[in-house]
Amino acid sequence: VLKTVSELAQLVSAQVEGDASLQVSGVSSLEAAQPGQLSFYGNRRYKQALTATRASVILVPLEHPSAHPATLLKVANPHLAFARIAQVFSPEQTYVPGVSPRANVDPTARVAASATVMAGATVGALAVVGERAVLYPGVYLGASTAVGADTVLMPNVTVLDRCTIGARCLLHPSVVIGADGFGFALDLTVPEHVKIPQAGTVRVEDDVEIGACSCVDRATTGETVIAHGAKLDNLVQVGHNSTVGPLSILCAQVGLSGSSELGTGVVLAGQVGVGGHLRIGDLAKVAGQSGIMGDVPDGANVMGAPAIPYRDFMRSWALFGRLPELQAQLREMKKRLEQLEHPTKP
């Protein structure tokens, strides 16, 4: 694909500073870009890379000074504009519709004629596979599951009985949807852990992406929900009866216990753990490895385990490293106090 700078500028409503007739052949990072490619600059951290780049076209913030050998495209949000332009250069993956004779599709399942079911995929009884949906090898779709239009299940994904996946979702390899929630009651008289049947299900709404080896457990009763537009990274755990709000971001290795409730646009950085039966408010941000043990208000920015406001954590953490020094000061003051109390001592 080749696009002119002016075509791309129009796509992202950019002001062009430089040659608008240039042909752009692709996108790349500032460091790796070749002449003819477009890149973006959104963070001062990369100031040096901006100077050194061989990119022919660069997306920059509106307020950026204009002096650069490359053609500049000024936009409100260079990162977002880059995403839109990168999509232009990204070849759409195409699939041959149809069910492989080596797939195992229950005769009661309804598979759209435009869908692709590859060799070694399984579609259970009464399952529904939507228009243009794709099931790679090793995918297991249980009984009475439903997969929406244009959704892609990558190799070895498992979606167990009665779960529903919306439209335009992308489930990466080895994702597991609908395994039993972790619910037991201890009977000390036997003793044994008595299993609480996990009779509920999972609902994944539209435009959700779930990373490789992530797991979303079915509810005890009712539903575990991943709301529309949420994005989950790899190796994430979502416990039974939890709700992940619309447009929330869960980075890799995050874990939600049972019955957690995340609002809209929540961001959990990597390896965050969230206790059960609590709420994280809309647009709250949780720093990496934090542990949430109580409700988090809307818009809060927290860190630590248990989590406290981010600034408080950072201030206290700086002093944590200085605890030996604080202790030494305390000791020294104690001596001086004694000296004052008993001035006769040497």
Tell me the C-alpha distance between 32 and 16, whole Å: 23
Burial class (CB in 10 A: 0-12, 13-18, 19+), 217: buried
Query: Which listed residue (20, 126, 170, 283) binds a copy of itself by CB under 8 A?
Result: 170
Candidates 116, 151, 243, 253; binder of a copy of itself (CB under 8 A) is 253
By C-beta, is 47 or 315 nearer to a copy of itself? 315
CB of 66 vs a copy of itself, minimal distance in Å: 24
Which are the contacts of 332, defined by CB distance < 8 A and separation ≥ 6? none
Q: Counting beta carbons within 10 angstroms of the beta carbon of residue 95, is it exposed (0 to 12), middle (13 to 18) or buried (19 or more)?
A: middle
Distance CA 266, CA 284 (A): 5
Nearest to 44 by CA among 62, 23, 70, 64: 64
- Is residue 185 near a copy of itself by the rule CB under 8 A? yes
Q: 214 burial class (0-12, 13-18, 19+ CB within 10 angstroms)?
A: buried
In sequence order, the 6+-apart residues with CB closer than 8 A to the CB of 63 are none
Active-site residue list: 240
CA–CA separation, 68 and 13 (whole Å):
20
Q: How far is the CB of 67 from a copy of itself (least distance, A)?
A: 26
Which residues 210-249 are close enough to bind a copy of itself by CB under 8 A? 211-213, 215, 217, 220-222, 229, 231, 233-235, 237, 239, 247, 249
Q: Is 270 in the site for a copy of itself (CB under 8 A)?
A: yes
Residue 23 CB, nearest approach to a copy of itself (Å): 19
Out of 155, 283, 301, 310, the residue judged to bind a copy of itself by CB under 8 A: 155
Give the SS3 label for residue 297: coil
Show contacts with a copy of itself in window 273-332 (CB under 8 A): 273, 275, 277, 288-289, 291, 293, 305-306, 308, 312-313, 315-317, 319-324, 326-327, 329-330
Q: Are strands 184-187 and 192-195 parallel, antiparallel or unpaired?
A: antiparallel
Shortest CB 262 distance to a copy of itself, Å: 15
Ranges within 21-80 binding a copy of itself (CB under 8 A): 27-29, 32, 45, 77, 79-80
Q: Which of positions 190-209 make contact with a copy of itself (CB under 8 A)?
A: 191-197, 199, 207, 209
Is the CB of 48 or the CB of 316 nearer to a copy of itself?
316
| Pairwise CA distance, residues 127 & 135, whole Å | 13
Q: Is 179 a residue that touches a copy of itself (CB under 8 A)?
A: yes
Site for a copy of itself in 81-140 (CB under 8 A): 82-84, 86-87, 89-90, 102, 104, 118-120, 122, 136-138, 140
What residues pair up with 243 in beta bridges, in sequence order? 225, 261
- Residue 237 structure tokens: 């755990």
Our CB check for a copy of itself shows the closer of 132 and 218 to be: 218
Cα–Cα distance for residue pair 44/70, rounded to 1 Å: 18
Among the candidate windows 14-22, 57-65, 107-115, 151-159, which touches a copy of itself by CB under 8 A?
151-159
Is 255 an interacting residue with respect to a copy of itself (CB under 8 A)?
A: yes
Going from the C-alpha of 17 to that of each of 55, 89, 129, 186, 192, the distances in angstroms are: 14, 22, 48, 69, 72
For residue 184, state whether it binds a copy of itself (rule: CB under 8 A): yes
User: What is the C-alpha separation between 151 and 117, in angstroms, rounded?
Assistant: 12
> Which residue, 47 or 334, is less far from a copy of itself as judged by CB?
334
Given candidates 173, 283, 298, 310, which one binds a copy of itself under the rule CB under 8 A?
Answer: 173
Please state the closest distance from residue 155 (CB atom) to a copy of itself, in A: 4
